[in-house]
Amino acid sequence: MEATLFYILAAVAVIATLFAITEKHAVHAIVYLVTSFFALAVVFYLLGAPLVAVFEVIIYAGAIMVLFLFVIMMLDLGHPEKAARPGMGDWWPALVLGAVIAGAVVVLAASRPAAMTAGVSVIGVREFGRALFQKYGIAVEIISMQLLFALVGAFYLGRRRPSPPAPLPEGEGGRRPGEGGAAREEETV
Amino acid sequence: MKLYLALILLLPLLGGTINAIVGRKLPRRLTETLACGMVWGAFVCALLAFAAYRGPETVELASWLAAFDFRAPITLYLDSLSLVMVLMITFVCGLIHLYAVGYMADDPSYARFFALLNLFVFAMLVLVLAENLPLLYLGWEGVGFCSYALIGFWYREEKNATAGRKAFIVTRIGDTAFGIAIVWCFQLFQTVSISQINQMGFLMPVGVVTALGLLFLAGAMGKSAQLPLTVWLPDAMAGPTPVSALIHAATMVTAGVYLLARMFPLIGTSATVQAAIALTGGLTAFYAATCALAQRDLKRVLAYSTISQIGYMVLGVGCGAITAATFHLLVHAFFKALLFLGAGCVITALHHEQDIFRMGGLRTTLPRTFWPFLAGAICLAGIPLTGGFFSKDAILLAVWEKGGGLYGGLYLLGLLTALLTSIYTFRMVYLVFGGEGAHPHTLPRVMEWMLVPLALLGLFGGILNLPEYLGKGWLGEFLATAGVKVSHGEELVLQGIAALVALTGLSLARYRYGGARRAERLVEAEAEPTGVTAFLLNGWYLDNLYRILFIRPYEALSRFLWTRVDEGVIDDSLDRLADGLGRTGQGLGSWTNGRVSLYITSFAAGLALILGWLAWVVW
Amino acid sequence: MTVADLWTIMPLLLIACGSVLVLLLGAVVPGRYLTGVAVATCLGAALWALQVPAVAALPQLGVALTPLARLFTVVFALAASVTLLLSHDFNERRGIRGEEYPATILFALFGMSVLAAASTLLTLFLGLEALTFAFYILVAMDKGSDRGAEAGLKYLLLGAISAAFIAFGIALIYAATGTLEIVPAMAGAARGIAGVPLALAGWGLILAGAAFKMSLVPAHLWTPDVYQGGPPPVVAFLSTGSKGAAVLFLITLLRPAGLIPALHGPLWWLALLSMTVGNLAALRQQSIKRLLAYSSIAQMGYVTLALLTGSREGYGAAAFYVVLYTAMNLVAFGAVASLSGRDDLETIEEYRGLGYGRPFTAGVLALALFALAGIPPTGGFMGKFFIFAAALRGGEPLLAVLGILTAVVSVYFYLRVVVNLYLHSVTAEITANRPTSVEIVPLVVASLVIMLLGIYPGPLMAIIEAALF
Amino acid sequence: MIVPLVHVLILAAVLFALGLVCVLVWRSNVIMLLIGIEIMLNAAMLAFVGGAGHWGMADGQVFALMIMAMTSAEVSLALALVVYLHRRKKTVNVDEFNEMKG
């Protein structure tokens, strides 16, 4: 039952992704992608990772995709007829490379399959939390630094240039309320 | 001994460093005194070391390189060969330093000049004294670097900078071969100590030794300007004259000969390598002599003659005659330094005129330069009883002794070269000093004084290693290498032949360039090359017959060798190679066409190739 | 996590706290004082790393200050402080203001030290991504030039792709071995005669990702554009710290189990292509920054050649070269930064005659170029010597000889710049900037390092040797 | 584990390749390019989660979460840069940013 569900969801994810990458309308592509991510989230759940599944929905399908939509609208890219579409010349090399890479990984993965470990239980939230904050506590700190600097960078880029390179009167780069609107979303993490 | 050796190295280094750092701030006299004093100090130390010398000695000064099982400490090795070299280098370089004080009197960048000069001496001494190959290579490259800086940085013009770069890059080709040889030696013998490697040569198959020997030979070719890597040396004349003297006489170019002599116990075990060395030397000697015949620039004549003489030394090494080669190296150092310094005097006196056809009359107006220069010239030409005669003869003797088709041919070639040498030497002397000419301006005294000791050494250098029938060969005993054993009679006959050849060359040159004929040659030289035929019509039949039969083919050949082979084929093929590489590079650069899509595609293609390869391997 | 643990990871904490502190101070203190704070942080971290005794990996922490990590933390911290000093006046001239710049430099340093100290694949990956991330920001920092933003975008797009490659690669290795600890994971990946196939696929992906970080051909194409577009001090740091970190990344992964035979082929080609393409493409390059970019591609090819041997000696030669290369490129780009005023000095012609007009800066630039060309007695020669010796002894004679040949070719373009520096300038007036004292100090220090490593490389080699034990 | 690990990895490989294809194809739209990178990173997460399920350890899941966090940081910066460049050049076609070349 669960196995069947896995294959169905796998098919859904692949097909939705296919639609997403061939879609000329960026907004539609995002919608297809969200579908794919939902399917993936359920796959995660089936593979015994409920917490990752939840985050997938919240962060990926929720926050990041919304961020994309936000930028698409901000830049007014919702007019597919104006955008250049990839032609056949773009597709062939891409498909060949993709096929080679996927094929190679599949060949290598299948050539000597790892033995099935029997009866693996679902990893609970408690176990996950312990691993996250005890074993990989440092990693959480690193990623928090990175998020901080994502904010700093986006803020810096979003800020309008204070003035041409001339000695500033007040001595310090004017820190105006930045309009780095793009940078706000990562606080959801 | 350790102290002496350390001082020999440290003094020039110290002088160079001080002058490089604070030289510009110091008063001029102090800078000059420092530079000269350091080199002469090294010479004094060398003398003391000579006095204390009892036998080969290895001195470890400090640990230098140590990585995993690789060890190359700063170890110096003093044996008779290196001792003789050190004495010669410090002495000749000391004289050149003093000369440079006069030569550089008007130049503002004297501090940099003397700093580089001192460093040059230091690098050369490191090269000579090194006990292991990496240290030797350090000196080797240091010499290359200093010569680059001295040739190129001097006149601040594009032409000279290019000459410096050319010297650097061409010698670098040889250096690369040498570098490969070093690493390979380490791989084979698990040591880089020269004396140990030399003792272990017999452990290796002949093929390997041959390959190693050829690599060393390639290294020597680059540094000593042997065929086919000769092209940099004539162009290196762009530097100031003391530098030319330094490069040509005492230091840089002899490094290749020294390397071959040093490694001879190893590489000499292969007959192929010996033959290759001898052939390289013989051909180079001949080739450069013919080129020298057609030159108009005084310094270029001397440059080609250097190449030719170095060719003799290499030929000597190729015959196993280390003593003879070293002997010639020493004597040549004296008289070539003398000739260059003399040429420097001439050029300075004539307001930087270098064309020998525009000179003349200096015999009377510049006597203090003329007589030493003449002494140098007769040494170079190998006129009997001069140092050059004995040393060159020792090499020819060794070639003769080897016998066989190849060496017999090389002997004849060597004789022919001796004839050519004599001709171009006296051509130069007659053109520069004969006839009438304008009044030169006076020279700094120190420049002319420096010529005298060199002239004496050149003339009487033969005493260093007299032929056996005249007494003991001191150098041969000191170097303790197996000398060539020939009967006195045979030796005398061979020397007679050589003397005859040299005198023939002298008379030929006198016939063509001496006395009244000189003026004709000058007129001839004024005209364009096609003017030669016009001159034919004027009825100098005898001269023309002589031209047609003898001189013209040679001039044609030498001009051909110079313009076509030297500047055409060798230069050109290098140029073409460089051009091809540049074009390829440009093509590769246009890969970076600025479009991210291509960058990503290339990146992904790399991944696909790697993964595809892995899948293929596993499958 | 105990107090003792905290003590050993103090350098990391110092850097992290320093970067946050700089951000906070930026609100109250004028920007130019922040460089001092940042430099003090770097030096403090370096000193701490020097005095802390090295420890073995602590499994519960994910980072450990192993001897190698200590060495490289010090190197990276010094590189960062040199960069900060070099950019101080440069940023004034360019109008790059604010606390973001020093803070981000410190963040990059944080990423590097995390990477150096990482003992799990997760911290290794996060360290690598953190430092790359910092450079995305830094490259685009100069808002006065369009090129900066373009370079930033190019770097970011390719960097994100390479992050995906590496993440997927690590995922496959994890799937094959079941652990994220570096030593058991990499040892597990190499199990069997030719390694576990699945882990091999992971290795392939990681190799491609690392090829991007080290800018090896064919993943090198971003390098010239980013080097040209980024501010020179940033590029100095990017080309040294981030390259060094990438090499360290590979060394860390390779060390536990050595080179899996199947990986030899790809690495071989990466090394060969990088050496040839980098050196040849630089031959006729007119822009000095692009020239140095191609040169760095070639230099990384040499490092790959050393790694390829899979021997301790090879890793040692690579680590030595990284330290040396850090000094060389800091001087080269530092000199370019110091000479650049409002605009970059772009083409080689613009450097004509600077040997007389700006003797100090031109002198150190010439020194760095000689070192990059591998000419003794500079350190460049020693570095190349160790690499080629390791390659020859590691059974790579063909590649070593080819490498030496490309090195010969490279002398040409390095000298082309030097010759230009010392040619009489056609235009008498020199517009290049005069070096300030804040710039002179780091340049002198780094130049001394270059010379010292050339004349007396023994001590550093001994440290590396001990660290790799 | 409900399905063999290999099947999960095959799915991940296919998704990864699809993401790469997306990156390679959509040069005319940097937003789609970034989406392709997201797909690739999702494939990596899937491989991690599959591995974690296979070995019964939480490490892989932690890694997957970290990728997610890292991605959000990267995306926000990338989009900020895109907005910044769009303000200057009025285009999202990455190939039009080719001022530097050679």
Query: Is residue C1's pLDDT more than 80?
Result: no
- What is the arithmetic mean of pLDDT over C245-265? 90
User: Mean pLDDT for each 10-residue chunk of chain D (102 residues)?
Assistant: 85 94 88 92 94 87 93 91 85 79 72
> D95 and B595: CB-CB below 8 Å?
yes
Neighbour subunits, B (≥3 Cβ pairs < 8 A):
A, C, D
Q: Are B214 and B244 in contact (CB under 8 A)?
A: no
- The pLDDT confidence band at residue C238, using thresholds 50, 70 and 90, is very high
> Within 13 Å of residue C138, how many CA atoms lie on the same side as its CB?
31
Q: What is the pLDDT of residue B484?
A: 55
- The pLDDT confidence band at residue A112, using thresholds 50, 70 and 90, is low
- What is the arithmetic mean of pLDDT over A100-105? 92
> Within 13 Å of residue C268, how many CA atoms lie on the same side as its CB?
16
Instruction: For C62-103, list the strands marked E by DSSP.
Output: none
Q: Is residue D100 part of a domain?
A: no
- The pLDDT confidence band at residue C160, using thresholds 50, 70 and 90, is very high
> A135 and D62: CB-CB below 8 Å?
yes
- What is the arithmetic mean of pLDDT over C434-439? 87
Q: Which of C163, C165, C180 sits opposite D59 (nearest CB)?
A: C180
> Is B106 in the C-facing interface, judged by CB distances under 8 Å?
no
- Of B295 and C442, the one with more pLDDT: C442
Predicted ipTM beyond 0.90: yes
| Element (DSSP H or E) covering residue B74 | strand B70-78
Across chain A, mean pLDDT equals: 78
For residue B75, the cross-strand partners are: B60
Q: Which residue of D has its CA nearest to B593?
A: D101
- The pLDDT confidence band at residue C5, using thresholds 50, 70 and 90, is confident
State the Cα–Cα distance between residues B310 and B251, nearest whole angstrom: 12
Give the minimum alpha-carbon distance from C285 to chain D in angstroms, rounded to a whole number: 8
Give the minimum alpha-carbon distance from D2 to chain C in angstroms, rounded to a whole number: 16
Q: What is the pTM of this model?
A: 0.79
- Of A116 and B118, the one with more pLDDT: B118
> C63 and A136: CB-CB below 8 Å?
no
Query: Is residue C106's pLDDT more than 70?
Result: yes
> B617 and C194: CB-CB below 8 Å?
yes
- What is the arithmetic mean of pLDDT over C119-123? 92
Q: Which of C211, C375, C385 sits opposite B606 (nearest CB)?
A: C211
Q: What is the pLDDT of residue C326?
A: 94
- Dihedral sign for Cα A131, A137, A142, A145, please: positive
Give the minimum alpha-carbon distance from B588 to chain A in angstroms, rounded to a whole number: 21
Put simply, the chain C residues between 335 and 364 with a CB less than 8 A from any chain D CB are none
Give the minimum alpha-carbon distance from C122 to chain D in angstroms, rounded to a whole number: 6
State the Cα–Cα distance between residues B589 and B579, nearest whole angstrom: 15
Q: Which residue of A has its CA nearest to D33?
A: A21
- Of C56 and D95, the one with more pLDDT: D95
B-C C-beta contacts closer than 8 Å: 177
The segments of chain B whose pLDDT lies below 70 read 63-71, 152-162, 165, 238, 249-250, 437-439, 465-474, 476-477, 479-487, 514-516, 521-572, 574
> A93 and B601: CB-CB below 8 Å?
yes
Give the distance, in angstroms, between the CA of residue C404 and the centroid of all CA atoms in the same chain: 22
Query: Is residue A128's pLDDT more than 60?
Result: yes
Give the minimum alpha-carbon distance from B141 to chain C in angstroms, rounded to a whole number: 6
Number of CB atoms found within 10 A of residue B412's CB:
13
| Element (DSSP H or E) covering residue B70 | strand B70-78
- What is the arithmetic mean of pLDDT over C402-426? 82
Interface residues of B toward D, Cβ cutoff 8 Å, are 589-590, 592-597, 600-601, 604
Query: Is residue A52's pLDDT more than 70?
Result: yes
User: What type of residue is D97?
Assistant: F
Q: Are A104 and B612 in contact (CB under 8 A)?
A: yes
Residues of C in contact with B164 (CB under 8 A): 419
Q: Among candidates B279, B278, B225, B276, which has minimal Cα distance to B252? A: B225
Q: What is the pLDDT of residue A185?
A: 38
Q: What is the pLDDT of residue C110?
A: 95
> C129 and D70: CB-CB below 8 Å?
yes
> A20 and D22: CB-CB below 8 Å?
yes
Residues of C in contact with B606 (CB under 8 A): 208, 211, 218-219
Domain ranges of chain C: 259-469
Q: What is the pLDDT of residue B485?
A: 61
> C211 and B153: CB-CB below 8 Å?
no
Interface mutation target, options C174, C179, C287, C292, chain D, most CBs of D under 10 Å: C174
- Dihedral sign for Cα C220, C221, C225, C230, please: negative
Three-state secondary structure call for residue B76: strand
> Is A10 in the D-facing interface, judged by CB distances under 8 Å?
yes
DSSP per position, D51-75: HHHHHT-SHHHHHHHHHHHHHHHHH
Tally of domains within chain D? 1
Q: Which of D23, D24, D101 sits opposite B592 (nearest CB)?
A: D101
Q: Which of C94, C98, C197 sits opposite A111 (nearest CB)?
A: C197
DSSP per position, C229-267: HS-HHHHHHIIIIIHHHHHHHHHHHHTTT---HHHHHHH
> Is A14 in the B-facing interface, judged by CB distances under 8 Å?
no
Q: Which of D23, D94, D102 sits opposite B592 (nearest CB)?
A: D102
State the Cα–Cα distance between residues B349 and A129, nearest whole angstrom: 92
Q: Which residue of C has its CA nearest to A159?
A: C143
CATH code (residue D45):
1.10.287.3510
Q: What is the pLDDT of residue C78?
A: 95
State the Cα–Cα distance between residues C229 and C290, nearest whole angstrom: 10
**By residue range, what is the domain housing residue D79?**
5-91
| Element (DSSP H or E) covering residue B78 | strand B70-78
State the Cα–Cα distance between residues C105 and A114, nearest whole angstrom: 43
- What is the arithmetic mean of pLDDT over C322-333? 94
Q: What is the pLDDT of residue C250?
A: 93
Query: Is residue C91's pLDDT more than 90?
Result: no
Question: Which pLDDT tens digit goes with each residue over C355-387?
Answer: 777 888 988 999 999 999 988 778 888 899 889
Give the minimum alpha-carbon distance from B180 to chain C in angstroms, rounded to a whole number: 7
> D41 and C164: CB-CB below 8 Å?
yes
Give the minimum alpha-carbon distance from B156 to chain C in angstroms, rounded to a whole number: 5
State the Cα–Cα distance between residues C322 and C250, nearest whole angstrom: 12
- Dihedral sign for Cα C459, C460, C461, C462, please: positive
State the Cα–Cα distance between residues C162 and B608, nearest whole angstrom: 13
Neighbour subunits, A (≥3 Cβ pairs < 8 A):
B, C, D
Give the minimum alpha-carbon distance from D102 to chain A in angstroms, rounded to a whole number: 23
**A1-82 CATH pick, 3.90.226.10, 3.90.1150.10, 1.20.120.1200, 3.40.50.720:** 1.20.120.1200
What interhelical angle do C243-254 and C121-139 show, nearest 10?
A: 170
- Of A16 and B57, the one with more pLDDT: A16
Question: b/e string for A150-173 if b means 16 or more Cβ within 10 A?
Answer: bbbbbbbbbbeebeebeeeeeebb
DSSP per position, B426-466: HHHHHHHHSS--PPPPP--HHHHHTHHHHHHHHHHGGGGG-
State the Cα–Cα distance between residues B605 and B619, nearest whole angstrom: 20
> C62 and A137: CB-CB below 8 Å?
yes
> A189 and D69: CB-CB below 8 Å?
yes
Q: How many helices, marked H, and strands, marked E, lie in chain B?
A: 29, 2
- What is the arithmetic mean of pLDDT over C50-74? 78
Query: Is residue C17's pLDDT more than 90?
Result: yes
- The pLDDT confidence band at residue C459, using thresholds 50, 70 and 90, is confident
Query: Is residue A187's pLDDT more than 50?
Result: no
